[in-house]
Structure 1
């Protein structure tokens, strides 16, 4: 059976997986939801980009996990991708859930749609943190009002250094066994970096008819996709492409 290590995106902690984790455990797998430094119950802890990589690697090594399925959602694809490249033979698969992916020498801020300078100015205006979205920022993502309230109620400011420090990859991502989950309400196509990685024989694309936070909007479907990524499960059926 697999050991799932789950890491949610910006502003969120391990609690974001509360509806997905039991479904994976019921299927007989180990589940380890990670809160990254500086967020949720770890709020106030100093954190940079490599701190978050170490949070994920440390979870795997401390628990001596094998047959690991690393799962990174949104921002967390960046540290999780780096961690996947570091844990060697412990890795079974990495799953990027509508996620950013690490690019050597770049950062989350590098790919900001308004440019890095604009993003860094945004952080500076909030004391070096990325403030959580307000409720209206979740519109059109397949979430109920109750689900939006749950996200916004649990969200904490995201430490800015984790978003501006550069990536360091010890192995090309295209060599890793990977699944990319594209949530279609957040855009019909993966970004160009992901599209290029999907040309690798080791990567596959799975499309989900929901928004950017599927652990809230469609926990059953996300759990199914993750179970399909477990060792020996084979390629996902419905919604799979590429």
Structure 2
């Protein structure tokens, strides 16, 4: 069996991955769902990308984890690239789940359409939130309205700095020797299909395994069992 660390995306915490983790654990896998710095209760909303990366590095080190399949969802894709640059020897594979793939010197803000930051609502404390109408139509379009509301209520304000900070790595993803996978959720419209995560960003991984599955950007809420299956397919040797 395998060891998985599931790294959440923006506005999320590790709690939202627990339904998926439970299914993986039921199959005998060891699964962890840490919450990154910046999304924990009481964290300052001025937290930056390096803080988020180091919080996952510290989690893996403190729990003495090795041979880890590191899964990053959405914004978490940039984080796992940073983690891999700092501790590749403890990792077995990187899995990008509907995720951003950045090279050295790129930020998440560099990888989205220019008008996207204007869609977010600033709370004045360094954090931003996603309006429900965008969440409903673009992020969780495969769920019923009740599920969309319940999922939205679990989200938390996200530090804007982590979107604008540049990723600093010695090796770009395509040149990393770690095996890599990309899970493409085919109904994901969090980014326009004319400006997609896959293949526009996934090709920056170089050699990688593609796993495609039906579903939206937020498959962890709308169909955890389908997502668990996709993660296993992406993580296998």
TM over 0.5, shorter chain: yes
Instruction: Determine the structure 2 residue equivalent to 1:29.
Output: 29
In structure 2, runs of 5+ residues without a counterpart are none
CA contact (8 A) 2:78 2:100 kept: yes
CA contact (8 A) 2:38 2:159 kept: yes
Distance 1:162 1:64, change over 3 A: same
TM-score, normalised by the number of residues in structure 1: 0.85
Instruction: Determine the structure 1 residue equivalent to 2:123.
Output: 126
Instruction: Determine the structure 2 residue equivalent to 1:38.
Output: 38
Q: Bigger CA drift: 50-59 or 142-151?
A: 142-151
Instruction: Determine the structure 2 residue equivalent to 1:193.
Output: 201
1:183 aligns with 2:185: yes
CA contact (8 A) 2:5 2:31 kept: yes
| Aligned residues: CA RMSD | 2.2
In structure 1, runs of 5+ residues without a counterpart are 235-242
TM-score, normalised by the number of residues in structure 2: 0.86
- 3-state SS of 2:6 partner: strand
Q: What does 1:1-242 align with in structure 2 at a 5 Å threshold? A: 1-44=1-44, 46-114=46-114, 119=117, 125-127=122-124, 128-135=126-133, 137-139=135-137, 141-174=141-174, 175=176, 176-187=178-189, 190-197=198-205, 200-201=206-207, 203-230=208-235, 233-234=236-237
CA contact (8 A) 1:76 1:100 kept: yes
Find the aligned partners of 1:123 and 1:213 in 2 and give their Cα distance: 18
Find the aligned partners of 1:225 and 1:25 in 2 and give their Cα distance: 15
- 3-state SS of 2:33 partner: strand
Instruction: Determine the structure 2 residue equivalent to 1:238.
Output: none
For residue 122 of structure 1, report the CA deviation from its aligned partner.
Answer: 6.6
